[in-house]
Amino acid sequence: MAKLKVNGELLQVEADPSTPLLWVLREQLGLTGTKYGCGIGVCGSCTVHIDGAAVRACTLPIAEVNEGQEIVTIEGLSASNDHPLQQAWAELDVPQCGYCQPGIIMTAAALLAENPDPSDADIDAAVTNICRCGTFNRVRRGIHLAATMKKNGGAS
């Protein structure tokens, strides 16, 4: 029995300690917004926040997470879909199939939290997610737009 703090709630989960956080989120907690893409930490579809940092949940056993750490998934990113990135994404119609988008949004959210006005080079370094539909140029515009919205106080 492990305790995890997910989206502000302390939850008990029953899973082998070697189980990756991704599968505990998806199968024990029903938080399926966090996606399985590769299972080896390369594609970034499983990105969540742990204490604000973007982490790939598919290669992180729950034994390595303690209950004091704040885990945030795409479902907990904002109360009413009003994170600047979500607003910017809606404005620019960023997703295509959408499967990788929660991971990309979580990656970008961690970047913006740390760096409110990222340059293109900052985005290139931080966003290493794979998107086979090819939404990258809108992702880049979306991050810049969200940064502007945040700066102007137009969003939460």
Site residues (CB under 8 A) for other proteins? Answer: 15-16, 19-20, 23, 26-28, 30-40, 42-43, 45, 73-75, 77-78, 81, 86, 89-90, 93-102, 105, 123-125, 127-140
- Tell me the closest approach of the beta carbon of residue 53 to other proteins, in angstroms: 19
Cβ proximity to other proteins: between 5 and 140 the closer is 140
Distance separating alpha carbons of residues 2 and 39, to the nearest angstrom: 22
Distance separating alpha carbons of residues 54 and 103, to the nearest angstrom: 9
Smallest CA-to-CA distance from 139 within 86, 94, 84 is with 94
**Phi and psi angles of residue 5, each rounded to the nearest 5 degrees, phi first:** -100, 105
Cβ proximity to other proteins: between 34 and 147 the closer is 34
- For residue 9, the surrounding DSSP H or E stretch is strand 9-13
Cβ proximity to other proteins: between 15 and 71 the closer is 15
- Tell me the closest approach of the beta carbon of residue 51 to other proteins, in angstroms: 20
Cβ proximity to other proteins: between 68 and 134 the closer is 134
- Tell me the closest approach of the beta carbon of residue 18 to other proteins, in angstroms: 8
Distance separating alpha carbons of residues 96 and 112, to the nearest angstrom: 22
